[in-house]
Amino acid sequence: MKLGGTAQLNGTPDALFDRLLDPETLRRCIKGCETLEELPDQEDGVRGYAATVKVGIGAIKGRFKATVSLSEIVAPASYAMSIAAKSPVGYLSGTAHIKLESGSDGTALTWAADAKVSGVIAAVGQRLLGAAAQRFADDFFTRLRDLIG
């Protein structure tokens, strides 16, 4: 499943970049996020996080345990993300590329992701998945905008 989009955010890429990698900001911006911690002892140039996120898609609801790692970090312009998440309702794995470009009215954040799902969520929720993922992303940026003003 391929997803992506562009979000317009206030502030320069410099100001935004660190916030996007900050565990507390991430925790507050991810809908349903119950815990999110940065993992120590990562390889050079890689940042890792562990999170639990409650997700509901239609009738399918579950608590995902996710590990996220960020790599290819080129501050303040871009980074890559890989995610592996599991829950009783299914598994998710994916990669994403995030790019920040400064513009006349702030920063354009462009993201492109490729995700694989399996389990109940893939069987029953697949029709709803694309729209749900898009809403999830939109919600993230709405919260981020609220947070950074």
Nearer to other proteins, 108 or 124 (CB): 124
Nearest approach, Cβ of residue 119 and other proteins (Å): 3
Radius of gyration from C-alpha coordinates of the chain: 15
Nearest approach, Cβ of residue 70 and other proteins (Å): 22
Nearer to other proteins, 77 or 124 (CB): 124
Query: What does the binding site for other proteins look like in residue numbers (CB under 8 A)?
Result: 88, 90-91, 93, 116-120, 122-124, 126-127
Nearer to other proteins, 77 or 84 (CB): 84
Nearer to other proteins, 90 or 106 (CB): 90
Distance CA 65, CA 89 (A): 11
Nearest approach, Cβ of residue 109 and other proteins (Å): 29
Question: Can you tell me whether residue 23 is helix, strand or coil?
Answer: helix
∠68-143-116 over CA atoms, to 5°? 35
Nearest approach, Cβ of residue 38 and other proteins (Å): 24
For residue 133, which of 92, 86, 78 has the smallest C-alpha distance? 92
- Determine contact, residues 17/149, Cβ cutoff 8 Å: no
Amino acid in position 110: T
